[in-house]
Amino acid sequence: MICFTSLSLSYLPRARILAETLRAAHPGWPLWAVLVDRLPDDFTLDTAPFDRVIDAESLGIPRFRAWLFKHTLVEACTAVKGAMLCHLLDTGAERVAYFDPDIAVFHPLDRLPQMLDEASVLFTPHQVAPNATPMAIADNELAALRYGVFNLGFLGVRNDEAGRAFAAWWTARLYDACFDDPAAGLFTDQRYCDLAPALFERVGIVRDPGWNVASWNLSRRRLRITPEGAILVNGHPLAFYHFTKHGGVGDAMTDRYAGAQHEPHELWRWYGRRLAYHAAPGVAKDYWHYGRFSDGVPIPHAMRRQYRQRPDLMAFFDDPFDAGSGLRAWFAENAPAVLVPDDA
């Protein structure tokens, strides 16, 4: 079993929590990290939490810099997941599990290797029980129809014919279009996987309510902390919790669906304390090397979107991050509106 995650430096505190909790549950499971970023000049990365750190540019993605320019931060960190999965399968890993960096493991995942003996691909759905109120249906079930039935914060793949076929297909789709564009039927990597049970054999669905608990399924999952300190979800051990958008909209959604339960709030506060403990001095909260041109000017999202709609520009500008490449000047002359800063 090899586990991996994908991150930028701004997500390093989250990834450190994933590493410490996974290692506590499974000290023998290696955790690899694929870094979609570049280190600031005055920052030294402590790689101790991870067994190996891979630079995304080393994964052999064709025309990496031109390809990466099309993506926002979240899109980019998601888009490399397929290439990293194929890399691990190619190196001979028998079973691979991906975890988002904002996941924390609370109970040993002892069933996972057996699950990957019985299935070639494993998904966790956003919902495993019907919602009952109009608000919960809108927030959770209708949202799953827009953003994907399965949450790709977790993924398990076995190195067999079906697993490799899925990995190759998913990687190709992510290379072509891993964008946050629900109106076009896309939500990074998730919507593609709605098709996987129809396209591939041996696709398993983990219905255990203790796996991938998050604000989007709290409406149907009840947490309880026993006198001995065990955390249960609908009577099942809490395997791992997904702290999506902690410090943002996740706070509001947790308040909305935790209701009178104090346990989700306890976990939410615990995560905040661990984030503070694992803070990375020297890295700004919104730091991303690929968020700026080589001269430090921020790249507007509108410019990325326009660029990815122009195959001629993608073919001509091999390194669009280079401030001297002429891409910015081309937009200034032909589409100046896309140069308006995101915060303007």
Render pLDDT for 133-147 as a digit per residue (tens, 0 to 9).
Answer: 999 999 999 999 999
Residue 256 has pLDDT above 70, yes or no: yes
Confidence of residue 161 (pLDDT cuts 50, 70, 90): very high
Confidence of residue 343 (pLDDT cuts 50, 70, 90): confident
Render pLDDT for 55-89 as a digit per residue (tens, 0 to 9).
Answer: 999 999 999 999 999 999 999 999 999 999 999 99
Residue 344 has pLDDT above 80, yes or no: no
Confidence of residue 126 (pLDDT cuts 50, 70, 90): very high
Report pLDDT for 286. 87
Domain spanning 2-277: CATH 3.30.1130.10? no
Report pLDDT for 172. 98
What is the value of pTM for the model shown?
A: 0.96
Ranges of each domain in the chain? 2-277, 292-339
pLDDT > 70 fraction of the chain, expressed in percent and rounded: 100
Say if residue 193 is exposed, middle or buried (CB neighbours under 10 Å; 0-12, 13-18, 19+): buried
Report pLDDT for 259. 84
SS (H, E, C) the chain: CEEEEEECHHHHHHHHHHHHHHHHHCCCCCEEEEECCCCCCCCCCCCCCCCEEEEHHHHCCCCHHHHHCCCCHHHHHHHCHHHHHHHHHHCCCCEEEEECCCEEECCCCCCHHHHHHHCCEEEEECCCCCCCCHHHHHHHHHHHHHHCCEEEEEEEEECCHHHHHHHHHHHHHHHHCCCEEHHHCEECCHHHHCCHHHHCCCEEECCCCCEEECHHHHHHCCEEECCCCCEEECCEECCEEECCCCCCHHHHHHHHHHCCCCHHHHHHHHHHHHHHHCCCCCCCCCCCHHHECCCCCECCHHHHHHHHCCHHHHHHCCCCCCCCCCHHHHHHHHCHHHHCCCCC
Report, as an integer, the average pLDDT of 156-179: 98
Lowest-confidence pick of 106-115, 120-129, 251-260: 251-260
Residue 42 has pLDDT above 90, yes or no: no
Report pLDDT for 285. 84
